Amino acid sequence: MTRADLTHATGLNRSTVATIVTELESLDLVTVSQPVDTKRVGRPSTVIGPSPRHIAVAVHPDKDAISIGVVAMGGRVLREFRFDVERAPTAVHVVNTLQALVRGLELSEGGTVLGVGIGVPGLVGARDGVVRVAPHLDWHDEPLVQMVAKATGLPTWAANDATCAVVAEGQFGEGIDEDNVVYLNGGAGGIGGGVIVGGQLLSGENGYSGELGHMLVNSDGGLCHCGAVGCLETEVNRDDLLSVVGLGDAESSLLEQRLREAYGEEPAVTALVDRQLDFLGIALRNIVNIFNPGVIVLGGFLGAVRNATGDRLLDSVERAALAGPSSEVRIVSSTLDENVLIGAGELVFRTILRDPTSASVGSPTSAREPEQVAAS
Ligand SMILES: [Zn+2]
């Protein structure tokens, strides 16, 4: 933002903004530069941006890979590492991978590593950072935050991966101008969700809220791994879609294109997709009626299905949901790549955004006291 835009956005006077910018610059939290564009009339305003010198290490363990990103403020993934795994990684595997990488980063990056943020495909206790269950990784009661903090010496936070994604979508993606955002992700393992209400992340009593994949959509449906019947993620799933269009597990990036070609043309594909769209429509109807969101962002294969089937999904939600909230909602596909890593990075930056002076203690080589370990 230019200094003039900052003054306008904050409602503070110009000299106060100048003082704050100088202070943040001295903490190395912002960069101040002259704009290149000189075509505008008058003196060019200086541009203030988040500094790339303070970084977070963001981690997303999944059943086919461990993804690790070096994330800067402002939703920027500076570098990304993907470690493919033969079978779902254990928590110890993730910790060891991370430990080796953080050591390497400290030597090579030269910036200040503020901490580690982890997006986990499962239930993460907000109070203790224990992964209660991550079904597709087969993790149960793993004290992940404690393990990573101990191994890396860095403050560590963890949250559900779709929760991380909704934070990223709300700040940098499709929800950027919205106060009420729902994110629904279709992944290899199932469907995850995250909810922002009135600009605040919906956390619940202990961080477990937003499990929209386990919403009942078919009382006559299949048995879910959670023990219930007819959950959204048993009725709407990626593997059935891949198999009906003849794609393998590793070809999921081709799903949208194949669905575009086959939907409405091949009866078996059309029947299966329509069935899944009907159940997804029921879930979206409930979400619209319960949360009155400004936008519902669909990620992963859900975004692919939405894009490949014209207005069918939107029409069914509009018909079924209450007239008031359904007239206000946009239902879109995510365009923010790496939203889990960006959101996991934001878990780390929250502390510094709340109290910028805390940045001065974030040296990568300084040992951390146990009380600085915090869960999200
Ligand atoms: Zn379930």
Q: Mind listing the pLDDT tens digit for each residue in 273-308?
A: 999 999 999 999 999 999 999 999 999 999 999 999
The alpha carbon of 211 and the centre of ligand 1 are apart by a number of angstroms equal to: 9
Compute the distance from residue 250 Cα to the ligand 1 centre, in Å: 25
Instruction: Please report the pLDDT score of residue 362 as a whole number.
Output: 43
What percentage of the chain exceeds 90 in pLDDT? 75
Cα 109 to Cα 32, 55, 182, 348, distances in angstroms: 21, 9, 35, 18
**Gap from CA of 52 to ligand 1 centroid (Å):** 41
Q: Determine the pLDDT at residue 364.
A: 40
Which of 147, 144, 142 minimizes the C-alpha distance to 158? 144
Mean pLDDT taken over the chain: 90
| Distance between Cα 231 and ligand 1 center (Å) | 5
Residue-level pLDDT at 356: 86
Q: What are phi and psi of 197, to 5 degrees?
A: -120, 125
Residue 367's pLDDT is 34
Q: Name the one residue in this structure whose structure tokens are 């779709």.
A: 162
Residue 108: predicted pLDDT: 67
Dist. CA 152 → ligand 1 center (Å): 34
Q: φ and ψ at 74, to 5 degrees?
A: 90, 15
Q: Provide the residue type at 278 as one letter.
A: D
- pLDDT of 365 strictly over 60: no
Would the pLDDT of 204 be above 80?
Answer: yes
Over residues 183-196, the pLDDT tens digits come to: 999 988 899 999 99
Residue 361, pLDDT above cutoff 50: no
Q: How far is the CA of 64 from the centre of ligand 1 (A)?
A: 21
User: Looking at residue 252, what is its pLDDT?
Assistant: 87
Q: What is the DSSP letter of 74?
A: T
More confident residue, 104 or 211: 211
Q: Which fold has domain 177-333?
A: Nucleotidyltransferase; domain 5 (3.30.420)
Q: What's the confidence (pLDDT) of residue 374?
A: 42
Architecture of domain 54-163+338-372: 2-Layer Sandwich (3.30)
Residue 246 CA, ligand 1 centroid: distance in Å: 26
- 326 close to 296: Cβ distance less than 8 angstroms: no
CA atoms within 13 A on the CB side of 110: 1
Q: Look up residue 18 and give its two tokens.
A: 């100048």
Distance from Cα 188 to the centre of ligand 1, integer Å: 15
361 Cβ partners below 8 Å, 6+ apart? none
Q: Residue 376 has what pLDDT?
A: 39
DSSP-assigned letter for residue 2: B
**Residue 11 Cα, ligand 1 centroid: separation in angstroms?**
47
Q: How far is the CA of 226 from the centre of ligand 1 (A)?
A: 4
Measure 234 CA to ligand 1 centroid, in angstroms. 7
pLDDT at 20 over 50: yes
Q: What is the pLDDT of residue 70?
A: 94
Mean pLDDT, residues 104-118: 80
CA of 324 to the centre of ligand 1 (A): 29
pTM for this prediction: 0.88
133 CA from centroid of ligand 1 (Å): 13
Ligand 1 centroid to residue 232 C-alpha, Å: 7
Distance 191 CA to ligand 1 centre (A): 10
How far is ligand 1, taken at its centre, from the CA of residue 369, in Å?
39
Q: How far is the CA of 227 from the centre of ligand 1 (A)?
A: 6
- Average pLDDT on 157-166 reads 96
- At residue 94, the pLDDT reads 96
**CA of 230 relative to ligand 1 center, distance in Å:** 7
Spacing, Cα 321 to ligand 1 middle (Å): 23
pLDDT tens-digit readout, 251-268: 889 999 999 999 999 999
Cα–ligand 1 centroid distance for 233 (angstroms): 7
**How far away, in angstroms, is 31 Cα from ligand 1 center?**
47
Per CATH, 54-163+338-372 and 177-333 having the same topology is answered: yes
User: How confident is the model over 35-77, as pLDDT tens digits?
Assistant: 666 565 666 678 999 988 889 999 999 988 999 999 999 999 9
Distance 361 CA to ligand 1 centre (A): 43
State the pairing for strand pair 30-33/54-61.
unpaired
Separation of 213 CA from ligand 1 center, angstroms? 7
Give the residue extent of every domain in the chain. 3-50, 54-163+338-372, 177-333
State the maximum Cα–Cα separation within the chain, in Å, rounded to a whole number.
Answer: 69
